[in-house]
Amino acid sequence: MPLSQYLRRLLAALFFLTAIPTLAQESGLSEQELRQLMQLAEYIGVDYSEAVENGEIINGEEYAEMEEFADLLVNRGRQLTPSPEAEAIRKEAQALQTAIGRKASLSEVQTHTAQLRQKLLAIAPTLSLPQSLLSVEESRTLYRANCVACHGDTGMGDGPLAAQLEPPPTNFHERERAENRSLLGLYDAISNGIDGTAMASFSQLTEQQRWSLAFYVGSLAFTDSVGDVSDSPLALQDLVMYSPQVLHKNRPEISADTIAALRADPTALFEKKSSDSADPMDTARGQLQKALAAYLRGDYKDARTFAVSAYLDGFELLENTLDSHDADLRRAIESDLLNLRAQLNPNSDPQVVEQQVSDILQRLDQAGALLQESSLSDTALFIASLIILLREGLEALLVVIALTTILVKTQRRDALKYVHIGWISAFIAGFATWVLAQQFIAISGASREVMEGVAALLAAAVLFYVGFWMHSKTQTESWQKYIQESVNRSLTAGTLWGIAGLAFIAVYREIFETILFYQSLLTQTAEGQYVALWTGVAAGAGLLAVIGWILVRYSARLPLGKFFSVTTLVLLALSFVLAGKAIAALQEAALIGISPMPISFSFDWLGIYSTWQGIGLQAAILVAALWLILKGKKPGNTSSAKAV
């Protein structure tokens, strides 16, 4: 198979594989349909008390509506794409329908609706949170312009049209109802309306206006609440997605008064989101506590998800900085966080898990104190800044230079533009991804690691193949004829985009991670230290430029056969390194299991880590590379003269 055709196929595979995390979450229903099901489940939990009391129907119309909504949940559940999550949703919807059918207690029905809603949230696409809200006065004006006719001037459900409506409009001051209503449910009701009721869709309003209305009416029942919200570990996403009742059950460490105070005035969470949402240490602590809470209530999947997030969204972003203070402490915390995941299962001893979490939290406190008390010196900041860029950029640089030099050596300078298109596009895409992640969507650490891991794995495969292809040309006497005929023909057959794609893969996977590391380093930089930080960036860029110049200059002077031999070794080595890093990234994202070796070690620059999975793959690459090299050195070997 020609080199460029192989590249094309591998690139197509890359785009397919990077879509796997998304495809795995496809439910068979649209995002709007999933949100409507969540809304129905919440609506049943809120209004069931109006239909049934003490096992007796007190409102026939309300009860008929409960049955209708439950039936809809069951039927829609059958449309979900088969998966363990879908099966759990179907069982929960059936249990809810059965409970309503036998006129169960309110608490039992609300337990089913809360669990059903949480399971639906787990398969729904990532929620886009509001970036800011209108002022309270602006929200009140918006409410009076759109909601007064039904809900009344103050939200008591006593508007001029209220008497004509069945069911009656919501009284937003009713505390029990508000305790069971999430802000997301209110937002969806405002955006889409509620079938079978007089609640119409207000999709003509902007997203900010709809969120502002949801927060405004969701606060009315809590206006007299007082609580300390200054150090609350609650995130804006939690306040939006879950009702106060569910939050209090799932997060017992947060008082009901604090949750109520945040519903009354969420300003603190918006300030936290904009200013210190990015504090990696707080993220690590918060997600670790969520993992323990989920484990203790038997939700092992959520527990592992939170544990993964504690490392990827939190601690990993501090590793470079902590390394400059205490590398042993960094390694101990990293190892503990990765090992904790294996304990979050039904067979573990809860006391052991609680002790593990406690030990990690103590180490995180130790690391936090170390980082806070001993801020980076200018020299340490300069070195850290330089090493981040040098480490992340060197792999991409070697691939790009190898591609450009191959084209120069094969007399295809006209094709260099494809390499430049690849790496320049990667820079643009990397920065665009970062901007989107900051402004519009939340890209989790797990998603980032999956993206990097799959890209590294594909790049390793491509580089190994290219290395194999180049090695087959080092011993042949007819290499000049091959270059003039085979390479030239294959590179003009519309396949040069494969080369651009490989350059894109090699550079893009480094760009986004580099930005995240620098963003984390900025949180450790005092106001007067920016010169040291940016000097480190400049020095790193300068070193990469010098290394690139040396590689280009001296590789250009090598005879073609010698060049192919040297470049073969470089590409095979890069394949070895990237394969190890790919496995490590996919293990950190919990997509591949972790089987630690008896001895703990790591050589990050070589992509070598002490797990059997990573070492196994790298050993296979090493054996294949050695076989390839030794085979090419056999006397009289002519097989390498054949085109691959």
**What tens digit of pLDDT does each residue of 127-148 get?**
667 778 888 889 999 999 999 9
User: Positive or negative, the Cα torsion across 325, 327, 330, 336?
Assistant: negative
Residues 137, 140: Cα–Cα separation, whole Å: 5
Q: What is the rounded average pLDDT of the residues 23-43? A: 71
Alpha-helix runs per DSSP H in 410-444: 416-439
**Widest distance between CA atoms in the chain:** 98
Question: Which token pair is 631?
Answer: 């085979």
Taking residues 409-421, report their average pLDDT: 77
Which pLDDT does position 639 carry in this prediction? 41
Assign 92 a pLDDT band (cuts: 50, 70, 90): very high
Helix/strand/coil percent split, the chain, to 5: 75, 0, 25
Query: Which H/E stretch holds residue 316?
Result: none
Cα gap 576→460, rounded to integer Å: 7
Given a cut of 70, whether residue 68 has pLDDT beyond it is yes
Least confident span in 136-150, 322-336, 514-528: 514-528
Say yes or no to pLDDT of 438 above 60. Answer: no
The Cβ of residue 642 has, within 10 Å, a number of other Cβ atoms equal to 10
Predicted local distance difference test score (pLDDT) of residue 128? 67
367 or 639, which is more confident = 367
Residue ranges per structural domain of the chain: 22-123, 136-272, 278-373, 377-641
User: Can you give the pLDDT at residue 292?
Assistant: 86
- Under CATH, which architecture does the 278-373 domain have? Up-down Bundle (1.20)
Q: Tell me the average pLDDT across 476-498.
A: 50
pLDDT digits (tens, 9 = 90+) for 573-621: 777 887 887 787 777 766 777 787 888 777 777 788 888 888 898 899 8
Over 70: is that where the pLDDT of 520 sits?
A: no
* Locus of tokens 């794609």: 501
165, pLDDT greater than 50: yes
Torsion of CA 8, 9, 15, 17, to 10 degrees: -150
Reported as a pLDDT band with limits 50, 70 and 90, residue 335 is: confident
Peptide bond into 160 cis (omega under 30): no
Mean pLDDT of 163-182: 88
Residue 53, H or E segment: strand 52-53
Q: Rounded distance, CA 77 to CA 89, Å?
A: 7
Mean pLDDT within 213-233 = 84
pLDDT at 523: 59
For β-strands 52-53 and 56-57, DSSP reports them as antiparallel
Contact, 479 vs 401, CB < 8 A?
no
HEC states along 541-582? HHHHHHHHHHHHHHHHHCCHHHHHHHHHHHHHHHHHHHHHHH
From CA 75, how far away is CA 386, in angstroms rounded?
A: 58
- Res 417: pLDDT: 83
Q: Is pLDDT at 24 greater than 50 in this prediction?
A: no
- Residue 401 near residue 548 (C-beta atoms within 8 A): yes
**The two three-digit tokens of residue 544, written as one number:** 């990469």
pLDDT in the model for residue 143: 93
Q: In this structure, which amino acid lies at residue 165? A: L
Tokens of 363: 């180490």
Residues 219, 263 contacting (CB under 8 angstroms): yes
pLDDT digits over 337-358, tens only? 888 888 888 888 888 888 888 8
pLDDT band at 218 (very low <50, low <70, confident <90, very high): very high
Pairing between β-strand 608-609 and β-strand 52-53 as defined by DSSP bridges: unpaired
Backbone angles phi, psi at 212, to 5 degrees: -60, -40
Chain mean pLDDT for the chain: 76
> What mean pLDDT comes out for the span 471-479?
48
Helix spans in 220-349 (H): 236-241, 244-250, 256-264, 267-275, 280-296, 300-309, 319-323, 327-343
Return d(Cα 289, Cα 116) in angstroms, integer. Answer: 23
The two tokens of residue 331 are 């390694």
Is residue 266 within 8 A of residue 212, CB to CB? The reply is: no
Give the type of residue at 18.
Answer: T
Q: With 90 as the cut, is the pLDDT of residue 88 above it?
A: no
> How large is the average pLDDT for residues 38-43?
86
| Residues 582/613, Cβ–Cβ less than 8 Å | no
Which pLDDT belongs to residue 377?
Answer: 65
Which of 101, 1, 92, 5 lies closest to 41, judged by CA?
Answer: 92
Asked if 381 and 528 touch (Cβ cutoff 8 Å), the reply is no
Residues 6+ apart with CB under 8 A from 404: 416, 419, 552
Q: Bigger pLDDT: 548 or 359?
A: 359
Confidence tier at 105 by pLDDT (50, 70, 90): very high
> What per-residue confidence (pLDDT) applies to 558?
57
Helix crossing, 60-78 with 84-101: angle to 10°?
Answer: 160
Task: Assess contact for 182 and 42: CB atoms under 8 A.
Answer: yes
Please state whether the predicted TM-score (pTM) of the whole model is above 0.75: no
Report the candidate in 582, 570, 621 with the shortest Cα–Cα distance to residue 455. Answer: 582
For residue 83, with 0-12 CB atoms within 10 Å meaning exposed, 13-18 middle and 19 or more buried, which class applies?
middle
Lowest-pLDDT range of 89-98, 272-281, 468-477, 504-513: 468-477
Using DSSP bridges, classify how beta strands 56-57 and 608-609 pair: parallel, antiparallel or unpaired: unpaired
Nearest to 533 by CA among 280, 335, 321, 371: 321
| CA–CA separation, 560 and 410 (whole Å) | 9
Asked if 315 and 363 count as a contact pair (C-beta separation under 8 A), the reply is no
Nearest-angstrom CA–CA distance, 283 and 8: 40
The phi, psi pair for 602, rounded to 5°, reads -160, 140
CA–chain centroid gap for 5, Å, is 32
Query: Regarding predicted confidence, which is higher, 139 or 373?
Result: 139
pLDDT classification of 16: cutoffs 50, 70, 90: very low
Higher-scoring residue by pLDDT: 454, 481: 454
Confidence of residue 279 (pLDDT cuts 50, 70, 90): low
How high is the pLDDT of residue 58?
92
Residue among 318, 391, 386, 381 at smallest CA distance from 530: 381
pLDDT of residue 214: 93
Q: What local confidence, expressed as pLDDT, does residue 9 receive? A: 42
Tell me the β-bridge partners of 56: 53
Structure tokens at 340: 């904790």
Q: What's the confidence (pLDDT) of residue 486?
A: 43
Higher pLDDT, 452 or 104: 104
Q: Is 127 helix (H, G, I), strand (E, B) or coil?
A: coil
What is the pLDDT confidence band of residue 27, given thresholds at 50, 70 and 90? low
Name the pLDDT band for 448 (thresholds 50, 70, 90). Answer: low
On whether the CB atoms of residues 150 and 169 are closer than 8 A, the answer is yes
Q: Is 257 in contact with 227 (CB distance < 8 Å)? A: yes
In this predicted model, what pLDDT tens digit does every residue of 390-404 receive, in sequence order?
777 777 777 787 777
Helix axes 280-296, 300-309, angle to 10 degrees: 170
With contact defined as beta carbons under 8 Å apart, do 73 and 39 qualify? no
pLDDT at residue 164 is higher than 80 = yes
CATH assignment of 136-272, given 3.40.50.300, 3.30.1360.120, 1.10.760.10, 1.10.530.10?
1.10.760.10
The residues with which 52 forms a beta bridge, in sequence order, are: 57
Given a cut of 80, whether residue 231 has pLDDT beyond it is no
Distance CA 179, CA 248 (A): 10
Query: Quick check: helix, strand or coil at residue 602?
Result: strand
Percent of the chain with pLDDT over 90: 11
Q: Which two tokens stand for residue 55?
A: 């096992």
Could you give the CA distance from residue 488 to residue 482 in angstroms, rounded to a whole number?
9
